[in-house]
Chains A and B, each alone.
Chain A
Amino acid sequence: MLKSQTIQAVLEHALHLGADFAELFMEDCEETSIDYDGAVGGIAQQRTSGVGINVFAGKRSTYVYTNDQTESSLLQTVKRAAAILGLTGNGSAQLLPPKALEIANPCPVLVYPSTVQHQDKIAILREADCAARAVTSSLRGIKLTYFDRDQTVHVVNTEGTDAHDRRVTTRLRYIPLIENEHGAASRFSDFAVAAGFEALSGGAYIPHMTRFIREMESVLTAADAPSARVPVILEAGSCTGVFFHEACGHQLETNTLKDKGLFWDRRGAQIASPKVTLIDDGTMPGMYASSRIDDEGMPRQKNTLIENGILKGFFVDRLGALQLGLAPTGSGRRQNYKYAPAARMSNTYLAAGQDDEDAMIRDTPEGLFVTAIGGGTGGREFTLMAETAYWIKNGKIDRQVKGAMLSGRGDETMLKIDRVGKTVIAEDGGGSFCGATSGFCANTASGPRIRIAEMLVGGKGGLG
Chain B
Amino acid sequence: MIDVSRYQQAFASLPDSIQAAEVNAENVTKTALNIQGGTVADGQSGSVTKFYVRATAQQTGIAYSEKYDEVPADIIRRAVESVAYASDTPPQIMNPAGTLRLGKPSKTGSIEDAIQFGIRSEKLAGEIDTVESVIGCQVNLCSRKTHTVNSFGLDAVYEAHWLESILQVTMKRGGKHTPGYAYISAPSPDALDAEAFAAAAAADGNAYDGGGLPPYVLQSGSYPAVLSGRVMRNILMTAWMTLSGQAMLSGNSIFHRAQGTRIGSPALNMTNAPSHPMLGQAWLVDSEGTQIQPTRLVENGLLRTPLYTLASGNAAGMPSTGSAGRVARMTGSMPIALTTVPAILYVEPGAQTQDALIQSMGTGILLTYSLDLFHSVNVVSGEFSIPCGGVYYRDGHPVGSLSQLTVAGNLRDLFANIKSVANDLDFDNFYLETYTIGSPSALVQGLSFSS
Residues of A within 8 A of B (CB): 31, 33, 35, 38-50, 52, 60-68, 77, 80-81, 83-86, 118-119, 122, 140, 145, 147, 173, 177, 179, 183-188, 190, 227-228, 259-260, 319, 338, 340, 374-377, 379-383, 385, 402-405, 407-409, 432-433, 435, 440, 456-460, 463
B431 on the interface (CB 8 Å rule)?
yes
Q: How far is the CB of A445 from chain B (nearest CB, A)?
A: 15
A-B contact count (CB 8 A): 226
B231 on the interface (CB 8 Å rule)?
no
Question: What 1/0 flags go to B371-393 for Cβ under 8 Å of A?
Answer: 11111101011010111010000
Report the 8 A-B pairs with minimum CB-CB distance, sorted nearest first: A458-B406, A227-B450, A39-B87, A460-B408, A405-B385, A375-B375, A65-B46, A433-B332
- Are B67 and A459 in contact, with the CB atoms below 8 A? no
B220 on the interface (CB 8 Å rule)?
yes
- Are B63 and A44 in contact, with the CB atoms below 8 A? yes
Could you name 5 residue pairs across A and B whose Cβ atoms are closer than 8 Å?
Answer: A68-B68, A77-B45, A186-B380, A383-B375, A459-B408
- Are A43 and B61 in contact, with the CB atoms below 8 A? yes
Instruction: Given A403-B383, A440-B332, decide whether A41 and B64 contact each other with a Cβ distance below 8 A.
Output: no
Question: In the assembly, what is the distance between CA of A374 and CA of B39, in Å?
Answer: 41
- Are B68 and A44 in contact, with the CB atoms below 8 A? no
Please name all residues of chain A whose beta carbon is closer than 8 Å to the beta carbon of B448 when the two chains form the complex: 227, 460
B2 on the interface (CB 8 Å rule)?
no
A373 nearest in chain B by CB position: B375
Please name all residues of chain A whose beta carbon is closer than 8 Å to the beta carbon of B405 when the two chains form the complex: 458
Please name all residues of chain A whose beta carbon is closer than 8 Å to the beta carbon of B177 when the two chains form the complex: 260, 380
Stretch from B75-83, B145-153, B187-195, B297-305 contacting the other chain: B75-83
A227 nearest in chain B by CB position: B450
B84 on the interface (CB 8 Å rule)?
yes
- B residues 355-403 near A (Cβ < 8 Å) are 371-376, 378, 380-381, 383, 385-387, 389, 403
Question: In the assembly, what is the distance between CA of A312 and CA of B175, in Å?
Answer: 24
A48 nearest in chain B by CB position: B66
Question: In the assembly, what is the distance between CA of A84 and CA of B35, in Å?
Answer: 11
Question: In the assembly, what is the distance between CA of A365 and CA of B252, in Å?
Answer: 39
Question: In the assembly, what is the distance between CA of A173 and CA of B333, in Å?
Answer: 9
- Are A45 and B385 in contact, with the CB atoms below 8 A? no
Instruction: Given A185-B381, A227-B220, A379-B371, decide whether A459 and B450 contact each other with a Cβ distance below 8 A.
Output: yes
Q: How far is the CB of A172 from chain B (nearest CB, A)?
A: 12
- Are A377 and B375 in contact, with the CB atoms below 8 A? yes
Please name all residues of chain B whose beta carbon is closer than 8 Å to the beta carbon of A190 when the two chains form the complex: 332
B404 on the interface (CB 8 Å rule)?
yes
Question: In the assembly, what is the distance between CA of A460 and CA of B431, in Å?
Answer: 28
- Are B46 and A43 in contact, with the CB atoms below 8 A? no
Please name all residues of chain B whose beta carbon is closer than 8 Å to the beta carbon of A77 when the two chains form the complex: 45
Please name all residues of chain A whose beta carbon is closer than 8 Å to the beta carbon of B389 when the two chains form the complex: 381
Please name all residues of chain B whose beta carbon is closer than 8 Å to the beta carbon of A184 when the two chains form the complex: 251, 380-381
Most chain B beta-carbon contacts within 10 A, residue among A41, A62, A80, A435: A62
Question: In the assembly, what is the distance between CA of A164 and CA of B19, in Å?
Answer: 43
- Are A383 and B387 in contact, with the CB atoms below 8 A? yes
Instruction: Given A60-B40, A404-B385, A405-B376, decide whether A456 and B451 contact each other with a Cβ distance below 8 A.
Output: yes
- Are A66 and B371 in contact, with the CB atoms below 8 A? no
- Are A45 and B82 in contact, with the CB atoms below 8 A? yes
Q: How far is the CB of B379 from chain A (nearest CB, A)?
A: 9
Which residue from A31, A40, A64, A187 sits with its C-beta under 8 Å from B87? A40
B97 on the interface (CB 8 Å rule)?
no
- Are B48 and A65 in contact, with the CB atoms below 8 A? yes
Question: In the assembly, what is the distance between CA of A66 and CA of B46, in Å?
Answer: 6
Q: How far is the CB of A316 from chain B (nearest CB, A)?
A: 16
Question: In the assembly, what is the distance between CA of A464 and CA of B41, in Å?
Answer: 49
Question: In the assembly, what is the distance between CA of A64 and CA of B407, in Å?
Answer: 42
- Are B66 and A33 in contact, with the CB atoms below 8 A? no
A405 nearest in chain B by CB position: B385
Which residue from A403, A408, A463 sits with its C-beta under 8 Å from B408? A403
Which residue from A177, A183, A260, A456 sits with its C-beta under 8 Å from B404? A456
B196 on the interface (CB 8 Å rule)?
no
B330 on the interface (CB 8 Å rule)?
yes
B409 nearest in chain A by CB position: A460
Instruction: Given A81-B45, A145-B333, A385-B385, decide whether A405 and B251 contact each other with a Cβ distance below 8 A.
Output: no
Question: In the assembly, what is the distance between CA of A174 and CA of B81, in Å?
Answer: 24
Question: In the assembly, what is the distance between CA of A340 and CA of B31, in Å?
Answer: 12
Question: What 1/0 flags go to B55-66 for Cβ under 8 Å of A?
Answer: 000011111111
Q: How far is the CB of B418 from chain A (nearest CB, A)?
A: 18
- Are A40 and B86 in contact, with the CB atoms below 8 A? yes
Which residue from B40, B70, B371 sits with its C-beta under 8 Å from A407? B371
Question: What 1/0 flags go to B28-60 for Cβ under 8 Å of A?
Answer: 000101000001111111111100000000011
Q: How far is the CB of B304 from chain A (nearest CB, A)?
A: 24
Instruction: Given A47-B66, A84-B45, A458-B387, decide whether A119 and B85 contact each other with a Cβ distance below 8 A.
Output: yes
- Are A188 and B44 in contact, with the CB atoms below 8 A? no
Please name all residues of chain B whose beta carbon is closer than 8 Å to the beta carbon of A43 when the two chains form the complex: 61, 81-86
Q: How far is the CB of A403 from chain B (nearest CB, A)?
A: 5
B47 nearest in chain A by CB position: A66
B203 on the interface (CB 8 Å rule)?
no
- Are A49 and B372 in contact, with the CB atoms below 8 A? no
- Are A62 and B45 in contact, with the CB atoms below 8 A? yes
- Are A407 and B220 in contact, with the CB atoms below 8 A? no
Question: In the assembly, what is the distance between CA of A31 and CA of B385, in Å?
Answer: 35
- Are A33 and B83 in contact, with the CB atoms below 8 A? no
B351 on the interface (CB 8 Å rule)?
no
A186 nearest in chain B by CB position: B380
Which residue from A39, A63, A403, A460 sits with its C-beta under 8 Å from B44? A63
B337 on the interface (CB 8 Å rule)?
yes
Question: In the assembly, what is the distance between CA of A402 and CA of B385, in Å?
Answer: 10
Please name all residues of chain A whose beta carbon is closer than 8 Å to the beta carbon of B68 when the two chains form the complex: 67-68
Question: In the assembly, what is the distance between CA of A405 and CA of B450, in Å?
Answer: 10
Q: How far is the CB of A436 from chain B (nearest CB, A)?
A: 10
- Are B46 and A338 in contact, with the CB atoms below 8 A? yes
Please name all residues of chain B whose beta carbon is closer than 8 Å to the beta carbon of A407 when the two chains form the complex: 371, 387, 404, 406
- Are B39 and A405 in contact, with the CB atoms below 8 A? no
- Are B374 and A375 in contact, with the CB atoms below 8 A? yes
B13 on the interface (CB 8 Å rule)?
no
- Are B251 and A179 in contact, with the CB atoms below 8 A? yes
Please name all residues of chain B whose beta carbon is closer than 8 Å to the beta carbon of A179 when the two chains form the complex: 251
Question: In the assembly, what is the distance between CA of A84 and CA of B139, in Å?
Answer: 12
- Are A40 and B331 in contact, with the CB atoms below 8 A? no
A183 nearest in chain B by CB position: B381
A319 nearest in chain B by CB position: B42
Additional A-B contact list (12), CB under 8 Å, known A46-B64, A381-B387, A458-B406: A39-B86, A39-B87, A44-B334, A60-B41, A61-B43, A65-B46, A67-B66, A68-B49, A84-B40, A227-B220, A259-B135, A319-B42
